[in-house]
Structure 1
Amino acid sequence: MKTTKFLTLGIALVAAISISSCNEKTKAETTTVEKSEPTETVIVDETPDYFLLRPEIEKTYGYSHAVKNGNNIKISGAVSMNDEGNPTAVGDFEQQMKNCYADLDKILKHYGCTFDDVVVENVFTTDMPKFLEFAGYRAEIYKKQFPTGSWLGVKELALPEFLIEIELEVYKTE
């Protein structure tokens, strides 16, 4: 009985510390930069910057399309949809892929980035043979080099009409 109480208390304490440390990460942090000259203090704003590409749709489904924290930007998976949230290019894999990259380009531009700044690209598709057929299109997107990432065949995406979803991670030096 006492062991259970201590275990419960320990779990509660760890949870409280975890929540506290997560909340503290959203505050601005002070960083000390060592140089050969006197030490300089730099204020680094670690407050996340959220971006909504289609605010009403994203609020309805409960996600942000992108979050920038420092030099890192995480971009949620883009699918082929219009501003009302309806699937577009239904049944046309190649056009859905191009629509995904067009939306991703809008988000990158919002942050002053290009596809050259992308370090991770994860592709989710319900039709891997079709993706492989059109994967060469990516050479038009990534002019300098390809990012790391994964290509994953999945059973389904958010709506049955979606054939492909692409998410990105970006590193942008200021």
Structure 2
Amino acid sequence: MDAGARIGAIAGAERRGRAQALGAPSHCWSSIVSIRRIVCPEVPESAAPFSQCLVVDQQVFLSGVTAAGSDGQALGGNDMAAQTRACLAKIACLLAAAGSGLCDVVKLTIYTTDISRRAEISAARREVLKEPFPCSTLVEVKALAAPGLMVEIDATAMIGASLGE
């Protein structure tokens, strides 16, 4: 058993032990679910305590991805479509590292600071994503994590779904 498998087995045992200690029914802790944390060099990890991407069995869950560059500045400046494309490029990188791709995305939640510019977001999505398009929700928010950021996208994918192929 390699180091990664040992760590996964230990983490699984810890989860089962916690569930048992909390009085969870046996069916909640007796089955083993595979959970892998995915990292991609092109998508820097946040200092905040959360995972950017997790694979749970065949499902891929991505936290909100922004157009922040390595310097913290918004890629694409004030161009809503460019920021959207930058987010989708980062999502594609994380999905590839997870053994998936944009064609496997089944749900997007898009947060924007200016919903009146939704046509720009939609145009960028059409450039990058293929039909049938994933389910999607667009939400206007007051602000994102850093000044200049106008778009944040979180995604859920199913490895092997191949919606666009």
Greater shift in the superposed pair: 108-117 or 57-66: 57-66
Deviations 1:42-78 (A, max 9, x none): xxxx231001336995351222110001011101111
| Rg comparison, structure with higher value | 1
1:16 aligns with 2:22: yes
User: Structure 2 matches for 1:156-167, cutoff 5 A?
Assistant: 156-167=143-154
Tell me: CA distance 1:52–1:111, structure 2 relative to 1, closer, same or farther (3 Å). closer
- TM-score normalised over the length of structure 1: 0.69
Alpha-carbon distance between aligned partners in 2 of 1:82 and 1:19, rounded to the nearest angstrom: 45
Instruction: Give the 3-state SS of the residue equivalent to 2:106 in structure 1.
Output: strand
In structure 2, stretches of 5+ residues that fail to align are 1-20
Alpha-carbon distance between aligned partners in 2 of 1:85 and 1:53, rounded to the nearest angstrom: 17
| Partner of residue 169 from structure 1, selected from 156, 162, 165 | 156
Aligned residues: 142
| Partner of residue 148 from structure 1, selected from 135, 144, 148 | 135
Instruction: Give the 3-state SS of the residue equivalent to 1:58 in structure 2.
Output: coil
Identity %: 23
- TM-score normalised over the length of structure 2: 0.73
Alpha-carbon distance between aligned partners in 1 of 2:43 and 2:88, rounded to the nearest angstrom: 21
Aligned to 1:99: 86
Q: Is the 8 A contact 1:57 1:85 kept in 2?
A: no
Instruction: Give the 3-state SS of the residue equivalent to 2:78 in structure 1.
Output: coil
Q: Is the 8 A contact 1:124 1:166 kept in 2?
A: yes
Instruction: Give the 3-state SS of the residue equivalent to 1:17 in structure 2.
Output: coil
Higher relative contact order (CA 8 A, sep 6+): 2
In structure 1, stretches of 5+ residues that fail to align are 1-14, 30-45
Alpha-carbon distance between aligned partners in 1 of 2:94 and 2:42, rounded to the nearest angstrom: 13
Aligned to 2:105: 118
Alpha-carbon distance between aligned partners in 2 of 1:64 and 1:82, rounded to the nearest angstrom: 18
Q: What RMSD in Å do the two structures reach over aligned CA positions? A: 2.9
Greater shift in the superposed pair: 164-173 or 137-146: 137-146
Q: Is the 8 A contact 2:103 2:130 kept in 1?
A: yes
Tell me: CA distance 1:159–1:47, structure 2 relative to 1, closer, same or farther (3 Å). same
User: Structure 2 matches for 1:63-142, cutoff 5 A?
Assistant: 63-142=50-129
Flag the structure with higher strand content: 1
